[in-house]
Amino acid sequence: MRYLMLQENTGLHFVALPESHMYQLVALFKRLHKEIDKLTIVDRPELPAVLAECADLELLGSELSVTDGLAYVSGLERRFASLQENEYPLISLLTEIRALQAQLEFLNEEE
């Protein structure tokens, strides 16, 4: 299991993913950060800053928790699917998010 440390408006968040899929989430965030300014809607979703990736994590603060990767990616998919974008081809971003989501769902079913 790998952990991704994200800085969001609400504070630090940690996302847990199998090592085999962590690179996909990191690449997805890079793509989203690159493309987010191309959206023409006013209320663009806030994207977290990716701070670190690690193999081991021991949380010492009770206010911190680890989010399952599938739950996090599903939330990301809901945020982007709800956008009312008419100009930018949002479907390409949603396709990438949904592809990772499907892979994580498959992993959960296999376990």
Lookup: tokens for 3: 């952990």
The residue segments making up the domain with residue 27 are 2-110
Q: Which amino acid is at 78?
A: R
Q: How far apart are CA 16 and CA 55, in angstroms?
A: 10
33: confidence class by pLDDT, cuts 50, 70, 90 = very high
Q: Tell me, what's the pLDDT at 108?
A: 87
Flag whether pLDDT at 7 surpasses 80: yes
Q: How far apart are CA 111 and CA 101, in angstroms?
A: 16
Q: Tell me, what's the pLDDT at 110?
A: 85
Average pLDDT (41-46) is 86
87-97 pLDDT tens trace = 777 888 999 99
* Phi-psi sector, 30: left (phi>0), alpha (psi -120 to 50), beta: alpha
Flag whether pLDDT at 10 surpasses 80: yes
* Total domains present in the chain: 1
50-77 pLDDT tens trace = 999 999 999 887 888 899 999 999 999 9
Flag whether pLDDT at 6 surpasses 80: yes
